[in-house]
Structures are given as C-alpha cells and as structure tokens.
Chain A
C-alpha cells in the first residue's frame, strides 16, 4: 500500500511505471471501493496537484483540456459553453456541485463507464485523448480508447494528460441530453449528444450523434452521412430512428431495454434539435436538460 501525491508529471509517470494507479478526484475510485464495487488499488498516485494538468488552453486547432480539469470548470467555462456546448452540457449534469468540484474530465473518460456524461459529447466533437507514459505520448480517438465497460486501451503506465477538441466548423452547434427521473443526482438512463453544422440555407450540412448507456461503450451512430441536406426536423427524425435501431441496451433496475431503446431515440432527436438551434446562433443555457423541456426551471 502506498499513496503518493505527485508534484510533477514526471513523478506521476514514474509512479505509474512502478505500478501505481492514478487517482484524480476519486469520485469513481473511492466511491466504487466504498460501495463494494472494486477494492481500492493498493498503490495510488494523486494527480490533482500537478501544475498545468488542470488547465484549459486554446490552441490553433481548437482547445486542449487538461485531464485534471474539473466538471465545475467545464460547465462554467465561457468558451466551452459557447463552442463545445455538448461537453459543458454533460459536465453540468454530473452528480452534485461537490462531485463536479472534485470529479475530473480525465477520471470520467478513463473510468470508461458507458453511462458517462461527457463521453457522447466529446465523441461528436471529435475529441482525441493524449496518453503519456515515461517513454512518450500518443493520441488516440475515443473510439479506440474505450473497449468495454470500465476498460480502455490505455496501458497501465499511461496517464491521460489532456483531451484535444478541434474547433468546430462555422455554423455548428452541439448539445447533450440525458433521460433522468429527477432533476439532479441522476445517472444517465440513456443519453445522446449531437453536433450539427448548418448549411447557409438552414439545412443540415453535417450531423454527428453519439449515445450513452445503450451499449458497452459510448455508441457513435453510423450511417448519418446520407442525411446531409435534409431539414433539421427530418434529420432529427431520422437520427431518432437510427438511434433506437442501433442501440443495444440492457434491462436493469433503472429501465428495460425496450424503454431505453425508445427513449434514446427521443434524446437523440432532441439533441439534434438543440444542437441545430445553437448552430443557428441561439443561446440555450448549459445544461440543455435544465433549460428546456420537462427539466426546465419552473
């Protein structure tokens, strides 16, 4: 048993090389252990105090988000809210204010839960993850990263140091919604993110959609290229059908597979609609779940 608080990235990487597991906010790791899901790893290295790892940087290609950036930072970040909205929508839904203060983007991604709330948004935004080991670093797409529930293709000595998200094309917008039974402290029954780029005539030039909690990993909807040129309504309807069709949900205590299959279509349709409104320049406050529809403040 050992617990190290890394002060530098090199210290953290050395600890990983020696077999330690990273802990950021611990909101998955410690809660899982407490709840009896998985015992706490014997050797831990805390990565929440490494300088630079909790920063959001604007680059020529887009935005780079350090792995230790908290959900609280993401939900309130003006650029992320305006331009990478689906990510902010997802972060704003995570747990409670306390969970959002300590819970990190890196932890959310590397925990690899299919019900995670940032995954679908990052997927439609085309994000890539930067993994670093002592030997060097590499970038992987999210599709390559998540392999199964709770599993990634990262090696044990690799630390997720950052997430790179490219600048969206002009006239683009994105949104993430989830089905929830209460307005807070929920876990996605199903969720859907959409990124929409509008053509000058208001039709849909491009659409990407990803779903949470309906497959072993975040599910990126395929076959949407053919929808280009359609109206927002038509595209949303087609996406809803595709989502229900491509989803492979399970039945559990939260919902049956039947209900999930239906509602993920609803979420997908709404995500497309909200993303299109944002693409058209409308401001829908973060998160969409609490701004419009049944979850809006009354």
Chain B
C-alpha cells in the first residue's frame, strides 16, 4: 500500500508517495532524484548506498524509507560546502583515493560520520570505520590517507 510521507534530504523536505516496503536508497534515487548514492549489491555488503541518518551511517539499501520519516538524511550531494569541495572530497582527489568512483559516495559518508565521532582517528580506527565500504579499485590505502589528512586539516583549522 502506498503512503504519502515527507523525507528530509540534505535540508530539503520532499513529499513522496511510496510503497511501505520501499528501501530508502531507491526512494532517494528515484522520487527524490539524487543519484549520487549508489547500489552495488543485494545483501547489504558493499556500502555503496551509505547515507547519514541524523548523522549516523546507514546502508540505505536495507532501510525502509518510511522509517526515515522525521530524520535528517544526508547524501553525498549534501557534503559540498557551498560551492566548494569539502576537505575530504578534495583530499580524496589529491591523494588518489578515487578511481572508478563508484564506492566514493559511500566512502565519503562513512568517513564523514567517522570523523564526526572520532575527530583524530588512528589508522586502525579509519580502517575499521570504512570496513563496511568495499572498494575494488584502489586497495583502500589512498582512501585511508585522505581521511587521515582530512582529520589533521580539520584539527588545525
């Protein structure tokens, strides 16, 4: 059965009418129209679909959209600081942490949440923090470097 609800994504309220069984990912990509969040699997194993729900990372592929009502959803499209890249986005590029880019939005969301709860993570903390995001291209090291560099920069500023 369809239900009309409101989802708040990147600070904007979107009225959507959706089936109750729909996952948040497909609603974000279709009804809300933001395709930065990716779908890479059907067993909640890849992390390409990661978004923030009230600041905490969730796999949007496996979260019911109706359950996200009244929460603040942040997607990769909400990470830019005005028109400027977030330091994490810039560092991912400068450190070479982006290849095909398909894992990148999910990585960015996981890393953002990690830096919020652990502003000065150890390398091991970064590795565990990103362990729900598979990347087949980079071998992860340059992504880890980018996150650590971002932590250092944010601490300095």
Which residues does A use to contact B, with CB under 8 Å?
1-3, 5, 23, 26-27, 30-31, 33-35, 40, 44, 46, 48, 72, 95-99, 101-102, 183-185, 290, 297
Contact = CB atoms under 8 A, between A and B. Distances in A.
B131 A44 contact: no
A98 B43 contact: no
B1 A2 contact: yes
Given A102-B58, A183-B131, A290-B128, 12 more contacts: A2-B20, A23-B64, A26-B64, A26-B67, A44-B20, A46-B67, A96-B47, A96-B132, A99-B59, A102-B56, A185-B132, A297-B124
Contacts of A30: 23, 62-64
Nearest to B69: A5
Interface centre among B62, B69, B114 (most CB of A within 10 A): B62
Nearest to B20: A3
Contacts of A101: 56-58
Contacts of A34: 23, 42-44, 61-62
A184 B127 CA distance: 10
Interface in B10-30: 19-21, 23
Contact of B110 (A26, A97, A184): A97
B129 interface: yes
A85 to B, nearest CB: 18
Given A30-B63, A35-B42, A96 B69 contact: no
Contacts of A184: 128, 131-132
Contact of A1 (B21, B53, B59): B21
A27 to B, nearest CB: 7
Contacts of A98: 47, 50, 56-59, 110, 132
Nearest to A35: B43
B128 A26 contact: no
Interface string B127-146: 01101110000000000000
Contacts of B110: 96-98
A74 to B, nearest CB: 15
B131 A185 contact: yes
In this complex, the interface size class of chain B, counting residues with CB under 8 Å from chain A, is 20 to 34
Contact of B44 (A23, A31, A97): A31
A98 B46 CA distance: 11
A40 B50 CA distance: 21
B131 A96 contact: yes
Nearest to B25: A34
A72 B66 CA distance: 23
Given A1-B21, A297-B124, A97 B62 contact: no
Contacts of A23: 64, 67
B83 interface: no
Nearest to B114: A97
Given A31-B44, A102-B58, A95 B67 contact: no
A291 to B, nearest CB: 11
B8 to A, nearest CB: 15
B45 interface: yes
15 contacts: A1-B1, A23-B67, A26-B62, A44-B20, A48-B67, A96-B59, A96-B132, A97-B131, A97-B132, A98-B57, A98-B59, A101-B57, A102-B56, A184-B131, A184-B132
Contact of B45 (A1, A185, A297): A185
B113 interface: yes
A48 B129 CA distance: 23
B67 A33 contact: no
Contacts of A95: 44, 132
Contacts of B23: 30, 34
